[in-house]
Amino acid sequence: MGGIGKTTLASSIFSEISDKFDGSSFLANIRDFPTSRGLVRLQKQLIFEILGERNINICDVHIGSIEIMRRLRHKSVLVILDDVDQLEQLQALAGMHDWFGLGSRIVITTRNRHLLVSHGVDYVHMVNGLNDGEALKLFCWKAFRNCLPTPDYFGLSLQMVDYAGGLPLALNVLGSFLFGRSKAKWKDA
């Protein structure tokens, strides 16, 4: 689901473990690169972030795939492919296991679980929403700049959290909107 926290989780993994690999790359918002030209740009970015090589001549996606495999197949890499929405993107950026060296990890985030299955990934993890306690805490940080509600807003806060259903994006937006507003405005919202 959009806003459930896939990119947040992937970013957190990336900052925690990227130094354990020969090289790493975080390709964000891949859905914004639907054309072949966009894919070639991402292929160049992948090679640049891992090897620091900037002026590689890649004239099309097919050549780009060959270059990735040729240059990275002996490197242990961590690659995050964030927000993928087409199979072609996966084929262009991480076509096969043997494109990357032993110990590599490729993490893909997507709203479309079926893409992962079609591409033959090893493991699919469904990101769940926040539990009630976490959701209340996140909402309160936004709505009160504190981890708990003020006593007079307690009931309303629980209703909001219940309404947002553990979806971090909704908790963020609602909480930020309600910060400093009257009870009447809370009830309207």
Ligand X SMILES: Nc1ncnc2c1ncn2[C@@H]1O[C@H](COP(=O)(O)OP(=O)(O)OP(=O)(O)O)[C@@H](O)[C@H]1O
Cα angle 13-16-21, degrees, rounded to a multiple of 5: 95
Span from 5-13, 14-22, 45-53, 149-157 in contact with ligand X (CB under 6 A): 5-13
Q: Which does 2 bind (CB under 5 to 8 A by kind): Mg ion, ligand X, none?
A: ligand X
Cα torsion 123, 129, 131, 137 to 10°: value is 130
Does 36 contact ligand X by CB under 6 A? Answer: no
In residues, how long is the chain? 189
Question: Who contacts 89 (Cβ-Cβ below 8 Å, separation ≥6)?
Answer: 30, 33, 39, 42, 81
Question: Taking the CB of residue 178, how many other CB atoms lie within 10 A of it?
Answer: 20
Does 30 contact ligand X by CB under 6 A? Answer: no
Helix H or strand E encompassing 172: helix 168-178
Shortest spacing between CB 8 and ligand X, in angstroms? 3
Give the total of residues touching Mg ion (CB under 5 A).
2
For 78, counting Cβ atoms within 10 Å of its Cβ (0-12 exposed, 13-18 middle, 19+ buried), the class is buried
Q: In Å, how far are 10, 16, 149, 173, 181 from 170, measured between CA atoms? A: 19, 26, 17, 5, 17
Determine which residue in the list 2, 52, 133, 151 makes contact with ligand X, applying CB under 6 A: 2
Shortest spacing between CB 142 and ligand X, in angstroms? 9
Determine which residue in the list 24, 58, 83, 93 makes contact with ligand X, applying CB under 6 A: 83
Whether residue 81 contacts residue 43, with contact meaning beta carbons closer than 8 Å, is answered with no
Cβ nearer to ligand X, comparing 47 with 130: 130
Span from 60-68, 81-89, 121-129, 154-162 in contact with Mg ion (CB under 5 A): 81-89
Does 83 contact Mg ion by CB under 5 A? Answer: yes
Does 67 contact Mg ion by CB under 5 A? Answer: no
Determine which residue in the list 79, 94, 116, 138 makes contact with ligand X, applying CB under 6 A: 138
Question: Taking the CB of residue 145, how many other CB atoms lie within 10 A of it?
Answer: 10
Span from 1-9, 124-132, 134-142, 158-166 in contact with Mg ion (CB under 5 A): 1-9
Residues near ligand X (CB under 6 A): 2-8, 83, 111, 138, 168-169, 172
